[in-house]
């Protein structure tokens, strides 16, 4: 029953002027998706550096706190651009995604990753010292969540 | 040129190429790994480029930044290369005909050339500018050119997928 309202909301999204514009002509969708993927690359670079440092695998010349501080502006900006372009792409084909299991997997992973990043990773990386076990666990989970979003996102086109 | 068409057609008709192309799972999985590896590789390349341009991690010697981050870039790039070759293998004939694919290869070569010029040039004299907040012009240029070239390669790759 509740899903009925989700369907109505998706239909409304599908009908927005922005969605129609993105869907409209030949160049909008590819261009927006290119920006989406370029930002994804920037984000993944930052996530890889922070996560693998937390796991104690690479970048040992930096403290967790310093390396996180260096890349955080780039991470935040690329995440912002990804969310904006991703929403635009989604508006253009909302109804196509409603029954797509990969899409819902992506949504769940995305919200989990964002909450995990700002509630846990940011807190852990602000500490002076991170124990090895905590660092490894938090870094690995962060990497898993963000890479999972990419996998699920790619799968939307194939499911 | 005609022998190149023949080669691509031969690859396209091979059993292995057909198997990847027609598989419900293999092609999407290879493409998914390709995308994730692009993220890690191009993203970390961008971070080293930003250091060369004197924008981030200024307090750390450039050599330390490069040494620490390049393993991600190179490791990721090897995965990109392997999965990319498999994708080409599966669609060799289509790729041959697609102009975007040719542009992509050209820009890939240019990005490689830029890295080569950097590593055989100003990189060799890194001991002189290692601790500089702002690296010399040639290093800043190498970083900026690298950023633009890799972004272009990704853009062309996306165009290629849309027009085939």
Burial class of residue B4 in the structure, from the number of CB atoms within 10 Å of its CB (0-12 exposed, 13-18 middle, 19+ buried): exposed
Q: Does B154 contact A38 at a Cβ distance shorter than 8 Å? A: yes
Checking ipTM against 0.85, whether it exceeds it is no
Which residue in A24, A63, A50 sits closest to A116, CA to CA? Answer: A50
| pTM listed for this prediction | 0.88
All residues of chain B having their beta carbon less than 8 Å from the beta carbon of residue A62 are 60, 68
Question: CA of B73: which chain A residue's CA is closest?
Answer: A45
Q: What is the pLDDT of residues B2-32, one digit of tens each?
A: 788 999 999 999 999 999 999 988 999 999 9
Return per-residue pLDDT of chain A as tens, 159 residues: 678 899 999 999 999 999 999 988 788 999 999 999 999 999 999 999 999 999 998 888 889 999 999 999 999 999 999 999 999 999 999 999 999 999 999 999 999 999 999 999 999 999 878 888 999 999 999 999 999 999 999 999 888
Long-range contacts of B154-157 (CB under 8 A, 24+ apart): B154/A34, B154/A37, B154/A38, B154/A41, B154/B38, B154/B42, B155/A34, B155/A38, B156/B100, B156/B103, B156/B104, B156/B107, B157/B100, B157/B104
- Residue A26, SS3? coil
- Residue A129, SS3? coil
Rounded to whole angstroms, the Cα distance separating A32 from B29 reads 23
* Per-residue confidence (pLDDT) for residue B83, from 0 to 100: 97
Which of A38, A45, A157 faces B40 most closely, judged by CB atoms?
A45
* Per-residue confidence (pLDDT) for residue B80, from 0 to 100: 97
pLDDT band at B164 (very low <50, low <70, confident <90, very high): low
* Per-residue confidence (pLDDT) for residue B140, from 0 to 100: 95
Q: Does B151 contact A38 at a Cβ distance shorter than 8 Å? A: yes
Q: What is the pLDDT of residues B93-152, one digit of tens each?
A: 999 999 999 999 999 999 999 999 999 998 888 888 898 888 999 999 999 999 999 999
Asked if B56 is an interface residue toward chain A (Cβ–Cβ < 8 A), one would say yes
* Per-residue confidence (pLDDT) for residue B3, from 0 to 100: 87
How much is the average pLDDT of B50-70? 92
Kindly compute the dihedral angle of the four CA atoms of residues B25, A44, B77, A137, in this order, to the nearest 10 degrees: -80
* Per-residue confidence (pLDDT) for residue B100, from 0 to 100: 95
* Per-residue confidence (pLDDT) for residue B32, from 0 to 100: 93
* Per-residue confidence (pLDDT) for residue A1, from 0 to 100: 67
Q: Which two tokens stand for residue B134?
A: 């702002």
* Per-residue confidence (pLDDT) for residue B1, from 0 to 100: 57
Least Cα separation, residue B88 to chain A (angstroms)? 18
Domains of chain B: total: 1
Which residue in B67, B161, B122, B128 sits closest to A158, CA to CA? Answer: B161
Asked if B36 is an interface residue toward chain A (Cβ–Cβ < 8 A), one would say yes
Q: Which residue has the tokens 């307090």?
A: B59
Q: Alpha carbon of B27 to those of A99, A154, B99: distances in Å?
A: 22, 11, 22
Q: Does B43 contact A45 at a Cβ distance shorter than 8 Å? A: yes
Q: Residues A103, A90, B39, A71: is their CA dihedral positive or negative?
A: negative
Least Cα separation, residue A150 to chain B (angstroms)? 7
Domain extent, residue B40, equals 2-161
Quickly list H helices, B121-163. Answer: 126-129, 137-163
């Amino acid at each position: 029953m509740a899903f009925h309202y989700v369907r109505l909301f998706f239909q409304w999204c599908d009908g927005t002027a922005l969605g129609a514009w993105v869907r409209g002509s030949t160049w909008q969708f590819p261009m927006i998706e290119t920006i989406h993927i370029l930002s994804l690359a920037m984000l993944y670079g930052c996530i890889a550096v922070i996560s693998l440092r937390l796991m104690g695998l690479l970048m040992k010349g930096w403290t967790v706190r310093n390396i996180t501080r260096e890349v955080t502006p780039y991470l935040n900006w690329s995440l912002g651009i990804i969310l904006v372009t991703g929403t635009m792409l989604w508006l253009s084909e909302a109804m196509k995604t409603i029954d797509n299991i990969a899409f819902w997997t992506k949504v769940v992973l995305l919200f989990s990753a964002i909450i995990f990043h700002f509630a846990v990773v940011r807190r852990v990386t602000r500490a002076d010292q991170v124990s090895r076990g905590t660092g490894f666990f938090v870094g690995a989970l962060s990497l898993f969540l963000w890479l999972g979003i990419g996998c699920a996102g790619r799968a939307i086109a194939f499911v | 040129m005609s022998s190149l068409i023949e080669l691509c057609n031969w690859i396209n008709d091979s059993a292995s190429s057909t198997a990847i192309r027609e598989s419900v799972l293999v092609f999407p999985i290879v493409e998914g790994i390709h995308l994730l590896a692009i993220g890690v590789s191009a993203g970390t390349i961008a971070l080293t480029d930003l250091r060369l341009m004197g924008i981030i991690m200024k307090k750390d010697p450039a050599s330390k930044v490069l040494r620490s981050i390049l393993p991600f870039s190179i490791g990721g790039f090897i995965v990109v290369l392997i999965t990319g070759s498999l994708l080409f293998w599966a669609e060799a004939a289509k790729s041959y005909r697609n102009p975007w694919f040719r542009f992509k290869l050209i820009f890939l070569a240019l990005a490689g050339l830029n890295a080569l010029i950097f590593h055989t040039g100003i990189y060799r004299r890194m001991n002189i500018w290692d601790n500089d907040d702002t690296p010399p012009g040639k290093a800043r240029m190498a970083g900026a050119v690298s950023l633009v070239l890799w972004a272009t390669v990704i853009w062309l790759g996306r165009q290629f997928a849309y027009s085939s």
